[in-house]
Amino acid sequence: METKRRTLGSLHAPSFNAHLDEIQRQDGQIGQRIWIDHPAAIAIIPFLTDSTILMVKQYRYAIGKETLEIPAGKVDPGETPDEAVYRELLEETGYDADHIEQVRSYYPAIGYSNEIIHLYKARGLHQQSGIVDTAEISSLEVVTLESLRSRVRSGQIMDGKTMLALGLVLENKV
């Protein structure tokens, strides 16, 4: 158990905050913890067929690179995770889905963030438009599971949620 003594500082961005807290550790010592107070998020495995999924390319500021990932985003205030899945899928890919189903929920960075990601699969996809969120997403790629597997194995894809999703698909749990 670690208990908060006081907040030493905070950073505020439009959708989440970071805090530096002074804490008391289990052994009684005083320490400091930086932590991210983050809304829930969703990630989607959008099956175009049984063996192909939709993935999106986007620039990731924190690592300074463009990456290929499964679609994902934050759950907006007042929105349910299910609603966020339909919204993000449409915004990032231009597709709608007949069926969505939650597969797993997990903490991606348990050491310093309270973010929880609800991972979904989506089937019965219908294209409604092009990419809506063109400020974030630069392109859409249709990827076979075999190609995804090989790109993860080679280290070309290193995004945790995409790798976790692939593991679940290969385990035949999805």
- Residue from the set 40, 52, 96, 113 that interacts with a second copy by CB under 8 A: 113
13, 50, 98, 130: residue in contact with a second copy (rule CB under 8 A): 13
Three-class DSSP category at 169: helix
Contact between 62 and a second copy (CB under 8 A)? yes
Cβ-in-10-Å burial (0-12, 13-18, 19+) of 50 comes to: exposed
Selected from 112, 127, 129, 139, the binder of a second copy by CB under 8 A is 112
The size of the chain, in residues, is 174
Q: Are 118 and 105 spatial neighbours (Cβ–Cβ below 8 Å)?
A: yes
Give the distance from CA 121 to its chain's centroid. 13
Rounded CA gap, 103 and 118, in Å? 8
Member of 21, 88, 91, 92 binding a second copy (CB under 8 A) = 21
Interface residues toward a second copy, by CB under 8 A: 1-2, 8-14, 16-21, 23, 25-27, 29, 31-36, 38, 59-64, 66-67, 69, 72, 104-117, 134-136, 138, 152, 155, 158-160, 163-164, 166-168, 170-171
